Amino acid sequence: MKNLDKKLKNLEDEIVENRLQKKQRRERIDKRDSSIHQKFIKIWNDKIAKNKEFKTDLDKIISRFKKINPKNNRYYWMLQEDISMKERVKSIVLVYINNVRLTMELRLYGRSTEIVCTTETEIYSIKNIEKAKNDFINIVLDTFKEENE
């Protein structure tokens, strides 16, 4: 039975070592991703979430929609946090035009971070944030136009 004790001890040591290596690897990856994400979050906040001009543009669009259709219509926008993300950032811009929900969302995937507008067919890299912002506003305007035809 001495041989069995030795095998069990070796097995236990191997499993403990593998768990420790996996934990250390996960911590290194999380630290690297976190530093990458912080760069993207800063760009997102500067251009979208904390950008007064962008917020003013959305307010202007909503107020004009309400002026054009003053009765029984729901038009509003908001910034929302994605609770599944580790980082605390308002990463979703929502615009509601009655029952239509339009979104522009920051999705953090390390170096593959992307911005997704409304449907998954409109995907932009973080480098194209201005184009994503302009396209999103155009989608909002087009949706309102279609609703009122």
Tens-digit pLDDT profile for residues 54-83: 999 999 999 999 898 888 888 999 998 887
In a domain, 41, yes or no: yes
In a domain, 7, yes or no: no
* Residue 120: pLDDT over 70: no
Residue type, 69: N
In a domain, 19, yes or no: no
pTM exceeding the 0.85 threshold for the entire prediction: no
In a domain, 37, yes or no: yes
3-state helix, strand, coil in the chain (%, to 5): 60, 20, 20
Residue 100 exposed, middle or buried by CB count within 10 Å (0-12, 13-18, 19+): middle
Q: In whole angstroms, what is the distance from residue 121 CA to residue 103 CA?
A: 12
Tens-digit pLDDT profile for residues 105-118: 999 888 888 999 87
**What domain range is 61 assigned to?**
32-147
Count structural domains, the chain.
1
In the DSSP assignment, the letter for residue 65 is: H
- Dihedral of CA atoms 86, 128, 104, 146 in degrees, nearest 10, equals -170
In a domain, 69, yes or no: yes
